[in-house]
Structure 1
């Protein structure tokens, strides 16, 4: 069958590889094919596969352009499914699926999840959904009034961001001014993705961050799969540094009920979903909703724990099949990301001290020696690589992964100012 992938994400290249291995044809529409070559070790082989067509279009972030482009692809080779693993392109995939009459989430639901201000406004006053106090700002000169309304400390974020990019914890006026100056320079997120002006200012809610992974079946039933916990970096940024996929969280029933209320309230009616909550003093508080499969290494954790590959099940659902659902098993998988303490040229990454440790599954560097790397400082895009370990429960898996971080050898060549 023929699948159109509207952009992707680095880890999602595994889904393309899976589809090709099963004999499907894949057309990847992307503004920047080289982005995936630099970020995924699987991309080169996928691109070289005879059933993979990489269609470069620097203007395909325009939904009208994208729809016309895919209609032309469809005329030449009928398309059986449209999908994406990319947060930036969930609305685009939904729009193209609708235009071709193929399975997909409703465009309205995709928009409500994609733009954080729409999530907040749509669910405002919902009896079953707790949200932080918030202010929606459409013009930068209104943000100071919004800050006064919400008060310090607060969290500011672009409405269309992802991967914690440009999300900041602010405590005073100077931090606010610095943030606005930096954000004013950001007009796009790369790969042709333009930034909308909307910003959210939110009350800072203390508590652990977790997410509910779920799937909305074709008949509208919401199936909660499991919980993913998060290990976060320190303020003022919100960089994800670890994750564990499991069942048995003390607030699982409440989280699952809240997730169902959120998805129904937003009109999300199809597909794998990733909903983040802050565990506040009075219960789960909605952080944000992502209208696609959870990103990063979590799909790999899901596969290890469940035996089901969620990347492949997203594809199967897009093709109109009933997906096999990845429910956590007795084995718990956890992952930790790592980065560089300095900016420079990557000389080497050595994982040899990890391979004999109990529970070791894999370790991967996202950058090859000789490439420039940034300092781990502001967002998930600063990750250098990850490692994955298993255990009989969340605590054992986490202890093993944390201990292994100290055994990674990373060498960076740094230019010294003279």
Structure 2
């Protein structure tokens, strides 16, 4: 069968590889295919595969032009399924699937999940607990929105991802600096234009946790499991780890709330990732992502369940019923790490990590000679991860924390004179 992939993400290259291994044909449309070559060791093997076609298109983020391109691809070789692992391209994928008459999420529902202000406004007046918020369609209205919500607050672009440009603001100086920085951001790279909408929210304290879900064809909502998300980098919000599990005292409330959220938003298809802050008053909805969770979590899902979530996304796009990755008895988790200072990576050594109890795997994202920034602002500052297993969430997190002290990070640092 023929799969059309609208952009991807570096880890999602594993899904393309699996599809090729099963004998499917894959066409990847990307503004910058070389990005994946640099970010994923799987890309080169995929790109060279006889059944993989890579199309470089400057219009991959222009919905109308992308739909037209998809029609051309379909006319030349019928497309059987269209999908993406990219948060930036969930709406585009839904639009192409609808145009070609293929399985996919309703376009309006994809927009409701993709844009944070639409999520907030759609759920306003329902029984879903949200932070107090103000939506502004133009940066000139941010000051008034902050005055309405009050300090401390959180500012976030409506179409952001990976915690990029999400910041805690404690006073006017923070706000002025944030707006000056955001004013310089016209796009997110790879042709992804930024919309002007910004959401200002009250600051809610509490653990960040997410519900992983699959909405089957016909609209049946199946909540799969939970992912914890320890944060660092305050006043920014950087995800530093993840454990995929099922045993939590608020599990049923989180599952029930997620089902309500997705129904209110009209979500009718696909894998989803819904985040909550566990406040003193209960779970508060943080955001909804209309795609499979990213980072290392699909790998954690496979370790504990035996089901490859990357592959199941593709199978569902092809009209098949996916095998669902429910957490099993063995719990899997991982922690990301970054550089303590800006510099150039000379080497990352996991030798002392590999012998630790529960060790599963480790990966360095940066090759020797790569210039890196200090871990400070977003998930894009990560330079590697470790993955461990255990009998409980607590055991896994302790093992991951301990492993960070055993990583050998060799860097050269230019000292100012």
Question: What is the distance in 2 between the residues matched to 1:382 and 1:350?
Answer: 18
CA deviation string 1:395-415 (max 9, x = no partner): 111111110000001111222
* Residue 169 of structure 1, CA deviation: 0.4
Question: What is the distance in 2 between the residues matched to 1:303 and 1:318?
Answer: 19
TM alignment of 1:337-348, pairs within 5 A:
337-348=336-347
Query: Which 5+ residue runs of structure 1 have no aligned equivalent?
Result: none
* Residue 270 of structure 1, CA deviation: 0.3
Question: Would you say the 8 A contact 1:113–1:119 is kept in 2?
Answer: yes
Question: What is the distance in 2 between the residues matched to 1:367 and 1:38?
Answer: 9
Question: What is the distance in 2 between the residues matched to 1:61 and 1:234?
Answer: 30
* Residue 312 of structure 1, CA deviation: 0.4
Question: What is the distance in 1 between the residues matched to 2:365 and 2:32?
Answer: 17
Q: Secondary structure at the match of 1:43?
A: helix
Match of 1:262 in 2: 261
TM alignment of 1:229-378, pairs within 5 A:
229-378=228-377
Q: What TM-score do you get using the length of structure 1 for normalisation?
A: 0.99
Match of 1:196 in 2: 195
Question: What is the distance in 1 between the residues matched to 2:8 and 2:374?
Answer: 24
* Residue 219 of structure 1, CA deviation: 1.4
* Residue 163 of structure 1, CA deviation: 0.1
Question: What is the distance in 2 between the residues matched to 1:373 and 1:23?
Answer: 38
Match of 2:115 in 1: 115
Match of 2:97 in 1: 97
CA deviation string 1:297-317 (max 9, x = no partner): 000000001010000000000
Match of 2:23 in 1: 23
Q: Secondary structure at the match of 1:54?
A: strand
Question: What is the distance in 2 between the residues matched to 1:204 and 1:399?
Answer: 28
* Residue 375 of structure 1, CA deviation: 1.4
Match of 1:69 in 2: 69
CA deviation string 1:77-114 (max 9, x = no partner): 11000000000000000000000000000000000000
CA deviation string 1:350-396 (max 9, x = no partner): 00111111111100011111222221110000100111000001011
Question: What is the distance in 1 between the residues matched to 2:359 and 2:393?
Answer: 15
Question: Would you say the 8 A contact 1:4–1:79 is kept in 2?
Answer: yes
Match of 1:48 in 2: 48
Question: What is the distance in 1 between the residues matched to 2:233 and 2:34?
Answer: 32
Question: Would you say the 8 A contact 2:106–2:267 is kept in 1?
Answer: yes
Question: What is the distance in 2 between the residues matched to 1:42 and 1:342?
Answer: 29
Which stretch shifts more, 163-172 or 225-234? 225-234
Question: Would you say the 8 A contact 2:233–2:376 is kept in 1?
Answer: no
Question: What is the distance in 2 between the residues matched to 1:92 and 1:351?
Answer: 39
* Residue 164 of structure 1, CA deviation: 0.0
* Residue 277 of structure 1, CA deviation: 0.6
* Residue 123 of structure 1, CA deviation: 0.4
TM alignment of 1:139-154, pairs within 5 A:
139-154=138-153
* Residue 293 of structure 1, CA deviation: 0.3
Question: What is the distance in 2 between the residues matched to 1:414 and 1:120?
Answer: 44
Question: Would you say the 8 A contact 1:38–1:367 is kept in 2?
Answer: no
Q: Secondary structure at the match of 1:42?
A: helix
CA deviation string 1:110-159 (max 9, x = no partner): 000000000000000112x1000000011111111111100010000000
